[in-house]
Amino acid sequence: MGERRNKILITGASSGLGEEMARRFAAKGKALALCSRRLDRLEALRDELIIANPGVTVAIRALDVNDHDAVVRVFGELHDELGGLDRVVVNAGIGKGAKIGSGRADANLATARTNFIGALSQAEAALEIFRAQKYGHLVLVSSISADRGLPGPKAVYSASKAGVAALGEALASELAKTDIVVTTLLPGYIATDMSAKAGDNKLMTASLDEGVSAMVAAIEKEPRRAALPGLKWRGIDAALRFLPNELTDRMV
- Residue 96 and residue 230: Cα distance in Å, rounded? 27
Is-contact 206 191, C-beta < 8 A? Answer: yes
8 Å CB contact between 231 and 245: no
Nearest to 236 by CA among 204, 211, 209, 192: 204
Residue 135 designated active-site: no
57-109 pLDDT, tens digit each: 999 999 999 999 999 999 999 999 999 999 999 999 999 999 999 999 999 99
Topology at the third CATH level for domain 2-251: Rossmann fold (3.40.50)
- 193 — pLDDT class (breaks 50, 70, 90): confident
Q: What is the mean pLDDT of the chain?
A: 95
Contact criterion met (CB below 8 Å) for 139 and 1: no
Predicted confidence (pLDDT) at residue 202 exceeds the cutoff of 80: no
User: What does the pLDDT look like over 44-62, one tens digit per residue?
Assistant: 999 999 999 999 999 999 9
Phi and psi at residue 90, to the nearest 5°:
-85, 95
Interval 146-153 mean pLDDT: 94
pLDDT at 194 over 80: no
CA 172 – CA 104 distance, rounded (Å): 35
As a whole number of angstroms, the distance between CA 73 and CA 244 comes to 45
Please choose, from the candidates 9, 124, 114, the residue with its C-alpha nearest in 3D space to the C-alpha of residue 65: 114
Q: The dihedral of CA 52, 122, 171, 245: what is its sign?
A: positive
Q: Where are the domains of the chain?
A: 2-251
Q: Which of 116, 130, 157, 189 is catalytic?
A: 157
Residue of 93, 147, 97, 144 lying closest to 122 (CA atoms): 93
> Residue 15: its pLDDT value, please?
96
Q: What is the DSSP string of the chain?
A: -GGG--EEEEESTTSHHHHHHHHHHHHTT-EEEEEES-HHHHHHHHHHHHHHSTT--EEEEE--TT-HHHHHHHHHHHHHHHT--SEEEE---------TTSS-HHHHHHHHIIIIIHHHHHHHHHHHHHHHHT-EEEEEE--GGGGSPPPGGGHHHHHHHHHHHHHHHHHHHHTTTSSEEEEEEEE--B-SHHHHHHT--GGGPBPHHHHHHHHHHHHHH--SEEEESHHHHHHHHHHHHHS-HHHHHHH-
Res 209 pLDDT > 90 = yes
pLDDT, average across residues 29-36: 98
Tell me what percent of the residues of the chain surpass a pLDDT of 70.
Answer: 96
pTM for this predicted structure: 0.95
